[in-house]
């Protein structure tokens, strides 16, 4: 009888598996390389503070080093260490509270980590079921029936899950030392919308 093409656009909310907190630590000396940079006094202090709440050193990554050498002499330059701290959603409040206690760092960005492929599997199956229900209804209205599937094409997208630390839409965490809550200037939301686009060509009988 022919081909019936059905297109479904759907979305689901998915939960982040983990987060990466991006920050800058001001150093008094310059060293290079991930392992070497972790030996800088300021970075060692941060590693120790995070270890106190159960975070291992492997959760901390040195993503870059910026040099401030206004004097023109490399030996007298100072470094800014760009770090990323990995945490689960459950660990995140404690990590942010500990980081807020540090006087020599600036929080720059919160990056959520999602497994979009795994999330897309169930979402695509749900979209396919919707497409089949619609195809059955349309085919029956036309006096026919669905005999099979000639083609399936799917795609999905997840918006960039990064949030800059700002002065608006505050999220509040409790410092490891202070009794008062801390305003970190972001809204914490560990879910994101995954968009599914599905096209199915049904064979009609």
Q: What pLDDT shows up at residue 188?
A: 66
Q: What pLDDT shows up at residue 1?
A: 73
Q: Give residue 143's domain range.
A: 2-13+116-158+195-204
Could you report the per-residue pLDDT of 82-115, keeping only the tens digit for each? 999 999 989 998 999 999 888 888 899 999 999 9
Examine residue 167 and state whether it is found in any structural domain, yes or no: no
Q: Residue 77 maps to which CATH number?
A: 3.30.70
Residue with tokens 């040195």: 62
- Could you give the CA distance from residue 46 to residue 52 in angstroms, rounded to a whole number? 10
Tell me the mean pLDDT in the region 184-195: 75
pTM for the model: 0.70
Q: Where are the alpha helices (DSSP H) in the chain?
A: 34-37, 41-51, 92-100, 116-141
Question: How many domains does the structure of the chain reveal?
Answer: 2
Shared-domain flag, residues 95 and 141: no
**Collapsing DSSP states into helix, strand and coil, what is residue 197?**
strand
Q: Which of 113, 143, 178 is the last residue of a domain?
A: 113
- 2-15 sheet: strands from edge to edge: 2-15, 191-204, 146-157
Tell which residue, 21, 13, 64, 9, has the closest CA to residue 188: 21
Q: Which of 97, 113, 129 is the last residue of a domain?
A: 113
Examine residue 100 and state whether it is found in any structural domain, yes or no: yes
Examine residue 120 and state whether it is found in any structural domain, yes or no: yes
Q: What pLDDT shows up at residue 178?
A: 47
**Collapsing DSSP states into helix, strand and coil, what is residue 61?**
strand
């Amino acid at each position: 009888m022919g081909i019936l093409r059905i297109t479904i656009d759907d979305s689901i909310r998915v939960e982040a598996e983990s987060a990466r907190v991006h920050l800058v630590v001001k150093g008094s000396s310059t060293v290079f390389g991930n392992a070497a940079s972790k030996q800088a006094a300021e970075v060692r202090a941060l590693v120790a503070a995070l270890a106190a709440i159960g975070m291992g050193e492997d959760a901390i990554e040195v993503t870059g080093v910026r040099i401030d050498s206004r004097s023109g002499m490399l030996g007298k330059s100072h470094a800014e260490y760009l770090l990323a701290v990995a945490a689960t959603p459950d660990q995140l409040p404690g990590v942010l509270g500990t980081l807020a206690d540090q006087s020599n760092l600036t929080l720059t960005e919160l990056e959520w980590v999602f497994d979009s492929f795994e999330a897309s599997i169930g979402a695509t199956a749900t979209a396919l079921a919707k497409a089949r229900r619609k195809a059955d209804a349309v085919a029956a209205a036309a006096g026919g029936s669905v005999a099979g599937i000639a083609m399936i094409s799917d795609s999905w997208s997840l918006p960039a899950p990064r949030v800059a630390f700002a002065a608006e839409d505050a999220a509040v965490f409790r410092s490891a030392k202070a009794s008062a809550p801390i305003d970190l200037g972001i809204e914490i939301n560990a879910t994101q919308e995954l968009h599914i686009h599905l096209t199915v060509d049904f064979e009609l009988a």
